[in-house]
Every structure is written in structure tokens, then in C-alpha cells.
Amino acid sequence: MKLLLLAIGRLKAGPERELVARYADRCVAGGRKIGFTGFEMREIDESRARRPEDRKAEEAAALAASLPQGARKICLDERGRTMTSEEFSRKLGEWRDAGAPACALVIGGPDGLDPAFRDKADLTLAFGAMTWPHQIVRALAAEQLFRALTILSGHPYHRV
């Protein structure tokens, strides 16, 4: 199963982009042995529509077009549920074992995700009740994907 990180907006060069790239490389290296075929970050341009509802709808259409056929979709949203890293890794493992070709973590733009797009997610996930900058959310998402892979592989990275 391929892992994707889909995000509205471009991440500028700097420590956040480097951190995401580091975790992406780790996901590729560690995931091969346990049935994960790669990691890709896709950045979608922010909509320039005037109204927030129109921006979210345009961004949702672009995000949907970027999803591989049959991919599981995880929307990151403040209204989502919180999970432990172990629960998250089990969910990824279940989808991998069920033959899902890909799993995409989706990060919306400044206005958030279109409700209709979000409602079609396989999982809506929150990284807590606080609001986080998008560049940090990307790093958190990439790290949690790597952590999930280490849990699934029995690697000691995740200690409780």
C-alpha cells in the first residue's frame, strides 16, 4: 500500500520541509519490508476563489482528482477523532491487509476541508483540540506514518 500526504498549499524550503522529507525517506525504507510501497507528498495550489465555501469546493475537487483509485482517505480536521499511535497503526495495517492500494492523509487549506469531501473520508482524524500551523501538521502527519510503520514492523522506535 502506498502512503500519500496530500496538502493544500506549498511548503516552503526550510526545516519543516526537511523534516517531512526525512520521515518520508524513513517510511520508504522501513515500509518496504512490511507491504508499504512508497511515500509521496502532493501539494495542491490554494484556490483563489473569493468566498470560503467556493475555495473549499475547488480545493476538494483538486484533492479528489489527486487521490489514486481505491485509496483510503484520512482527513485531518479539528472535528475528527483522536487516536493513539497504536490504534492508528492497526488501522493502516487493516487497510494494507485488506488490499487497499493506497492511503492518503489529507490536509486542507486555511479554510479547512469541504464538508462533503470530509464526510466521505474513511477516517477523520484530529491531532488534538488545538489549531496547528499547516507546515507543522505535515511534519506531525509524516512522523505518525513513520511511527505506525515502526509499530507494525516491531521496531523499537515507538516506546510506551
Task: Give a yes or no: residue 147 inside a domain.
Answer: yes
Residue 125 lies in a domain: yes
Query: Could you tell me which residue, 155 or 1, shows the higher pLDDT?
Result: 1
pLDDT in tens, 30-74: 999 999 999 999 999 999 999 999 999 999 999 999 999 999 999
Evaluate whether residue 159 is within a structural domain: no
Tell me, yes or no, whether 33 lies in a domain. yes
Binning pLDDT at 50, 70 and 90, where does residue 160 land? Answer: low
Three-class SS string for the chain?
CEEEEEEECCCCCCHHHHHHHHHHHHHHHHHHHHCCCEEEEEEECCCCCCCHHHHHHHHHHHHHHHCCCCCEEEEEEEEEECCCHHHHHHHHHHHHHCCCCEEEEEECECCECCHHHHHCCCEEECCCCCCCCHHHHHHHHHHHHHHHHHHHHCCCCCCC
Q: What is residue 131's predicted lDDT score, i.e. its pLDDT?
A: 85
142 is a domain residue: yes
- Establish if 160 belongs to a structural domain: no
Residue 101 lies in a domain: yes
Provide the number of structural domains found in the chain: 1
Asked if residue 82 belongs to a domain, the reply is yes
CATH number at residue 86: 3.40.1280.10
pLDDT tens digits for 7-36? 999 988 899 999 999 999 999 999 999 999
- Supply the range of the domain harboring residue 30: 2-153
